[in-house]
Amino acid sequence: MSGTTPADVVCLGESMVTFLPSRPGRLADVPSFDRGIGGAESNVACALAAAGHRTAWVSRVGADGFGDHLVEAVAAYGVDTSFVRRDPARPTGIYFRTATDRATDVHEVAYYRAGSAASAMSPSTVPCDGLPAGRILHLSGITAALSADCLALLHELTAPRAGRPLISFDVNYRPGLWRGESAGVLLELARRADVVFVGEDEAEAAWGVVGAAAIREALPEPGVVVVKRGADGVTVFSHEPGLRPEPRASNAGGADLQPVRRLRTGGPGATPPVREGAGWGEAPRSGPDTVTHVPALRVDVVAPVGAGDAFAAGFLSATLRGLPVRTRARHGHLMAAAVLTVPGDLTAPPARERADRLAALGDDAWGRLRLGPGWTGDDTEVRTT
């Protein structure tokens, strides 16, 4: 990507060196680990770059060997890493995890990221006017949990301003990372965005909101809300003016935020910290949402990690191409299936022609698909039942 060519997507957030277990079991019992990379936002950047889009990753890493590895590994996917800064005083974050699903009680993650270089991101170290130009800016709630400075940066990036790109926000609620109020913070950031990705389970855990319709009621401003429902697929609420909205047609600025019903954000019946008349957010929707439900694929899962980031990448890729909402969600499912059938957080996505062909299947054929390891490069692994 040249210095004068804007990125399709700019992703900002911490990436870490990950240590993946050589076999299942408790961290105390695993004898060895394989080194990889992982970070919600850099995962999205890498997946989009591998799918042929121009992407840039913005972050901070330590002036250490792990920082070298991160920058080199992300750049190898074709991501512009020229906006990653080195911090000589703080280390690059690392973490160890087990091979089990995050949703299970036996899953373990050991983070070594407190005081990391990325936690020092702030409005002064990452000024808005110093970001690369891009059509979409992708952020996640993980960054908000890293430090007060990181939260201040997200507030600035999501504030209304002339020329603000479309904001994509993945809630990515990680209770173990938060040391203070999380629910209201994540709700406020999500309501400032244009496209929101949120799981039913995390919405219930963070906000006490149950069900896709209630989640949309809690997030009335974004043009697109993607509710991830696990094995039941996704429900997408869309009421969008387009990829490059004018200030009063999106959360990029102008109109007042409207109050929503009371949610659990810090205590039973607490009111979300979203100010009426805050000067940002979109005006009340003038018509009903389009509601699109897209079933998940059946996948022979190798490792249940990285699927959420891959889904976001597939959905945003199709958004950039101007495809219909249903097709965007199917591309998200296909990208997620690619990651679910490998051990790590990242893998090569299916070729665009192939993904387009599968995304265009009729409902019955889509429902019969079963994808296993190697399916992205071998037609024999795309099975129907």
Cα separation, 74 vs 62, in Å, equals 15
- 8 Å CB contact between 207 and 182: no
Instruction: Please tell me the least confidently modeled range out of 232-241, 258-267, 291-300.
Output: 258-267
- What phi and psi values does residue 245 have, to the nearest 5 degrees? -70, 150
- 8 Å CB contact between 204 and 186: no
Q: Does the structure show a pLDDT above 80 at 378? A: no
Alpha carbon of 297 to those of 365, 367, 368: distances in Å? 11, 7, 8
Place of tokens 């990705």: 197
The model's pLDDT over 41-96, given as tens digits with 9 standing for 90+, comes to: 999 999 999 999 999 999 999 999 999 999 999 999 999 999 999 999 999 999 99
Q: Does the structure show a pLDDT above 50 at 214? A: yes
Cα separation, 75 vs 82, in Å, equals 9
Question: On the CB side of 223, how many CA atoms lie within 13 Å of its CA?
Answer: 20
What pLDDT is stored for residue 380 in this prediction? 58
Partners of residue 55 on adjacent β-strands: 9
Which strand (E) or helix (H) includes residue 307?
helix 307-320
Our separate counts of H helices and E strands in the chain read 11, 16
Instruction: Give helix 65-76 / helix 40-50 axis angle, nearest 10°.
Output: 30
Q: Does the structure show a pLDDT above 80 at 169? A: yes
Contacts of 371 (CB under 8 A, 6+ apart): 297, 298, 299, 300, 337, 341, 381, 382, 383
Nearest to 385 by CA among 300, 292, 293: 300
Instruction: Please tell me the least confidently modeled range out of 21-25, 205-209, 212-216, 239-243.
Output: 239-243
More confident of the two residues 150 and 244: 150
What value does the mean pLDDT take over residues 207-211? Answer: 95
Global confidence as pTM: 0.87
Both tokens of residue 100? 């089990």
User: Confidence band (pLDDT; 50, 70, 90) for 127?
Assistant: confident
Cα separation, 323 vs 326, in Å, equals 8
Which one of the listed residues 300, 309, 345, 364 is annotated catalytic?
309
Instruction: Give helix 40-50 / helix 307-320 axis angle, nearest 10°.
Output: 50
Cα separation, 117 vs 283, in Å, equals 38
What value does the mean pLDDT take over residues 331-343? Answer: 94
Cα separation, 171 vs 187, in Å, equals 8
Of the chain, the percentage scoring pLDDT greater than 90 comes to: 68
226: helix, strand or coil: strand
Asked about 87 being catalytic, the answer comes back as no
Helix then strand then coil, in percent of the chain rounded to 5, is 35, 20, 45
Nearest to 228 by CA among 127, 301, 309, 133: 309
Cα separation, 356 vs 316, in Å, equals 14
Q: Does the structure show a pLDDT above 60 at 10? A: yes
Which strand (E) or helix (H) includes residue 338?
helix 325-340
Across 1-10, 290-299, 342-351, the highest mean pLDDT is recorded for 290-299
User: Confidence band (pLDDT; 50, 70, 90) for 306?
Assistant: confident
42: helix, strand or coil: helix
* Vertex 99: Cα angle to 203 and 138 (nearest 5): 45
User: Confidence band (pLDDT; 50, 70, 90) for 21?
Assistant: confident
Alpha carbon of 209 to those of 69, 200, 223, 267: distances in Å? 40, 8, 19, 13
What pLDDT is stored for residue 284 in this prediction? 44
Which strand (E) or helix (H) includes residue 135?
strand 134-140
Cα separation, 255 vs 247, in Å, equals 9
- What phi and psi values does residue 158 have, to the nearest 5 degrees? -95, 0
Query: Which letter does DSSP use for residue 119 in this model?
Result: G
